[in-house]
Structure 1
Amino acid sequence: MDLPLIDLAVFLVYMLAIVLFGASFYYKKRSANDFITGGGKLPSWAIGMSIFATFVSSISFLALPGNAYLNNWNGFVFSLSIPFAAWLAVKFFVPLYRGIKSPSAYFFLETKFGPWARIYASICYLLTQLARMGAIMYLLALPMNALFGWSIPVIIVVTGVSVLIYSIMGGFEAVIWTDAIQGIILITGALACAGILLFSMPEGPGQMFAIASEQQKFSLGSFKLSFSESTFWLILVYGLFINVQNFGVDQNYVQRYLSAKNEGEAVKSTLMGSLLYVPVSLLFFFIGTALFSYYQAMPEMLPSELSSSENADKIFPYFIVNGLPKGMTGLLIASIFAAGMSTVSTSVNSSATVILTDHVKKYLNPHITEGGEVKTLVIASLVMGLLSIVVALAFNGVTSALDAWWALSAIFSGGILGLFLLAYVGRNIRQKYAAIGVALGVLTIGWMSLSPLIPSESGWVTFRSPFHANLTIVFGTVVIFLVGFLFSALYHRKASN
């Protein structure tokens, strides 16, 4: 379709401006420390907006409305776990990492369990970031595909390269400041879209709530205790484990703790960014529910090919293209790109940091020069960015990008939260028992992850996991922690006797 000139101008001006703005920090980047933490001199409000923008991504901007459109507000329960996880972060994790003063989130694990723990956790992190960037860039391609009919793979490649340009040239400082701008843009776009939907109902805003209530679209899910269904409690527990892992062992967040001027500023930025996400994620679920009511009231407005569940993630892009006034379409597309680009740039930078600190400086070239460090960061950023484009291409055609991302994040996390908790809470934990716990945890994760691949007619069907996929990270974490803790306790008890 032909995009009105004003919308095209809004979108293109945004894309060009954000790339040039990020790249402008190239001349300020003098060292590897600047590339990794911005020199530790960034203001707390900008860091907080960056944390928020990293939380949001296009997974939130497109997949959350798609999830709410298809189902209900059960996915919002994930956000309800964030305040508690944020409290743990400012109480324990921020002081821990600022005290260690290592740019690596996994140096702490090495001090407790040796080099193998650091290698294991850092590799799991890199795999998780590849899956995350892939999901985000795929979702970025959907609205442009709906607008112009352009090939989704072509859009993925172009947007991926655009993010790489400014994230590589500008380093961490460019990531933070572009995130701050993009966070403001995406909130503005989401609020505008929600307002337009609400007041576009044929019988007024009340009709939206009436239709949604009748179809139980505001439900947070069943409150029964179940290990196989997506209930309120299951999503709450899943969200708690994922968010504690984010704040506790995610390189994205650790770098932000270190980029603040002092511990107090780091605490303020962490609380601001995390707590801001809760009402904004609620806004995204509201948009999905409003879209459902909108097209229930006016079914002739939705093409038949989008009415199937496989196309839930494409409903919001379709509305952006066809249901918004001139000028707003360009703003909303810019908002979606703002959400995705901020998270991808963050992941590119943090992944490069992990490659440098946990692998190159530790094993491949311990005596690397300052110039060599910067060169390594640039090359690692490029490699991770290109790999993430490949992963994004593999996402093309999935039923729900949100469900796919949640499943992959549970698999690739590898239960490193269990290892971190074992290191942080446990005392005198033996290295070999921590390793045994990791081995059993990985087996648990592998069993739960691969169970759906077992054919229902095969003789192995009885070995399928009866548990919901979101419990993969929960069980993996618990197995690692309990095995390491209990085995060490038995060892010390035996030794004392």
Structure 2
Amino acid sequence: MQTLPVIDIVVILIYLAAMVYVGYFFSRKNKSQDQFTKASGHIPGWAIGLSIYATFLSSNTFLGVPGKAFGANWNAFAFSLSMPLAAWVAVKYFIPFYRRTGEISAYTNLEKRFGPWARTYAVVCFIFTQIARMGSIFFGLSLTLQALTGYDMKMIMLIVGICIILYTVMGGIEAVIWTEVVQGILKTIGAILIVYLVVSHVDGGFGKIWDLGKADEKFSLGNLSPDFTSSSFWVVLLYGFFMNLNNFGMDQNYVQRYHTATSQKEAAKSIWLCVWIYIPASLLFFVIGSCLYAYYQLNPDLLEPIRMQTAIERLGADAGEHQVRALAATLQPADFGDKVMPNFMVTMIPAGLLGLIISAILSAGMSTISSGMNASATVFAEDVYKRYINRNVTEKQGLRLLHTGTVVFGLLGMIAGVLMIGVKSVLDIWWQLSGIFAGGMLGLFLLGIVSKRTGNHAALIATITGILVILWMTFSYLLPDSYASLRNPLHANMIMVVGTLVIFLVGLLFTRKKKAPVKVS
């Protein structure tokens, strides 16, 4: 078991205590549902922008992106490149829409547009997406901290989860936003420090890193041909556009922040601030992955412990040494990409700085998880409890409901994280799950916004059709070889793209055109 130096432990404990204190600080005025969910609408746009940026820059980015760059290339960067167009759509259409309606839930208006079933469907999709997101982040955090400390991954999830629940329950959305402002700055500083430390350990510096990476196509954006059966540039770009459109337009985490802003203009500023910070910041994590690739190319013996650890995880602790070594010898960089950065940190980063970088990794996960807890609790309270169980909730009962929901969804996120232990790539698993759960929701929302004539019947047919297509694309790989022609030929990231388009286009197809008035001669 690794033992962290005392100074690093102190730094981490100070960070965790500070986050809990922020929750306590805001708890003094967090006495109403409006304050818990909207912060009474007085948060400045720059703070909301940093908060959204911190939510985007989760531990999936901190851990998964360097792992993808190490194991493959910069193909996933196309996701970031899709953000400006999605942000433009959000600023022009989504923010004015939500600010005009005044509804705290992103899904209330679907009921007004198509009926109760539409709201319920969107809520179910959102809740599953959030649990998957929190689970993947809990997993990524625990994987990194296990490599650094040797502690059990489940114990790490429990300790970190309790801290997040405490400050989220006490401080509400205001505590979430202001802790994310700090966390966004901290994780950016941590990324810059990691780049500096890796480069300083590579003889020849950036020049050598560039030569080694270029020789093995580590800076490539992937296949640029119009190929939708593999993770080509266009597949990731399309997935990124639709996912970012979902984030800015349908995800309660972001919609809720629009209501915390002092004005529509400030809400719009927050999105653009997030975009222009996130694109270069995400690029920084691809640089980390390429730097780590060059470092381990020059020091291949240092990869042996990572290979052995990965082989043991796949074979089980009871596997013989010969079996483990045989499997370890066949593993490729893509098989253990998520483990290289934690390995570098624990072996090469000096005491003191390690505690700061671990705090940055913690902040990367805590920001997104706390946001997910608050948003999920808000959706449950507004769209489930008040809609179907008890409409007449007092202020005190409503606040207690939000607190309870925050705790419950935090625990569900931890359980999802435990179930993900052993997956190959934290970024891949999150992209796949989010695409499955979010695809139909976005299609229905766009149908309601764009087509004013589409009614309940057409929307229901479109949604059922979209769900069937998503289910086929997700599970058709299980068909026996005799039915191989019926399997989904497209890459998994296309599930969200196709699901969204099917619902939208089928809805338009079934929309009854208004009959023109008959002229009487």
Q: TM-score by structure 1 length?
A: 0.97
Q: How far 1:301 moved relative to its partner?
A: 2.8
Q: Which residue of 1 aligns with 2:157?
A: 156
What's 2:485 paired with? Answer: 462
1:286 paired with 2:283, answer no
Q: Which residue of 1 aligns with 2:347?
A: 322
Q: Find the aligned partners of 1:231 and 1:159 in 2 and give their Cα distance.
A: 36
CA–CA distance in 1 between the matches of 2:427 and 2:145?
Answer: 19
Of 473, 484, 487, 2:507 maps to 484
Give the Å deviation of 1:492: 3.6
**Alpha-carbon distance, 1:161 to partner:** 1.6
Q: Tell me how far apart the structure 2 counterparts of residues 388 and 343 of structure 1 sit (CA, whole Å).
A: 11
Q: Is the 8 A contact 1:228 1:468 kept in 2?
A: yes
Give the deviation of 1:6 after TM superposition: 1.8
Aligned length: 494
Query: Which SS does the other structure have where 1:36 is aligned?
Result: helix
Structure 1, residues 268-321: CA drift from partner, whole Å, max 9, x if none?
111111221111000011101110011101222333433733321111111111
Farther off after superposition, 203-212 or 173-182:
203-212
Q: Is the 8 A contact 1:444 1:476 kept in 2?
A: yes
Within a 5 Å distance, the mapping from 1:64-75 to structure 2 comes to: 64-75=65-76
Determine whether 1:418 maps to 2:419.
no
* Residue 450 to residue 10, structure 1, CA distance change in 2 (3 Å): same
The amino acid of 1:418's aligned partner reads G
Distance 2:54 2:42 in 1: 19
Aligned partner of 2:50 in structure 1 is 49
**Structure 1 residue runs without a partner (length 5+):** none
Structure 1 match to 2:316: none
What SS class does the counterpart of residue 28 from structure 1 fall into?
coil
CA distance in structure 2 between the partners assigned to 1:487 and 1:450 by the alignment: 27
The corresponding residue for 1:301 is 302
Name the residue aligned to 1:6: 7
- Aligned residue type for 2:417: A
**Partners in 1 of 2:381 and 2:363 — Cα distance?**
27
CA–CA distance in 2 between the matches of 1:297 and 1:241?
39
1:11-90 aligned within 5 A: 11-90=12-91
**2:310 counterpart residue number:** none
Aligned mates of 1:21, 1:377 — CA distance in 2: 18
Residue matched to 1:242: 243
Report the CA distance between 1:92 and its aligned residue: 1.1
Whole-Å separation in 2 of the counterparts to 1:94 and 1:496: 40
Alpha-carbon offset, residue 495 of structure 1:
9.8
Work out the CA distance in 2 between the residues paired with 1:460 and 1:385. 41
Give unpaired runs (5+ residues) of structure 2.
Answer: 308-327
CA distance in 2, matches of 1:150, 1:6: 18
Q: CA RMSD in A?
A: 1.5
CA distance in 1, matches of 2:445, 2:462: 12
Using the aligned pairs only, state the percent identity. Answer: 45
Cα distance, 1:199 vs structure 2: 2.5
**1:224-243, Cα deviation, whole Å (9 max, x unpaired):** 11120111111111100100
Tell whether 2:472 aligns with 1:471. Answer: no
2-side partners of 1:394 and 1:170: how far apart? 29
CA–CA separation in structure 2 for the residues paired with 1:33 and 1:126: 21
CA contact (8 A) 1:186 1:338 kept: yes
Aligned pairs (5 A) from 1:100-115: 100-115=101-116
1:65–1:289 Cα contact (<8 Å) kept:
yes
Q: Which residue of 1 aligns with 2:359?
A: 334
CA-CA distance at 1:494 after TM superposition = 9.5
CA distance 1:495–1:216, shift in 2 (3 Å): farther
Within a 5 Å distance, the mapping from 1:326-475 to structure 2 comes to 326-455=351-480, 457=481, 459-475=482-498
Residue deviations 1:383-415, cap 9 Å, x none?
111111110001100011111111100111141
Q: Aligned residue for 2:185?
A: 184
1:111-126 → structure 2 map (5 Å cutoff)? 111-126=112-127
Aligned to 1:204: 205
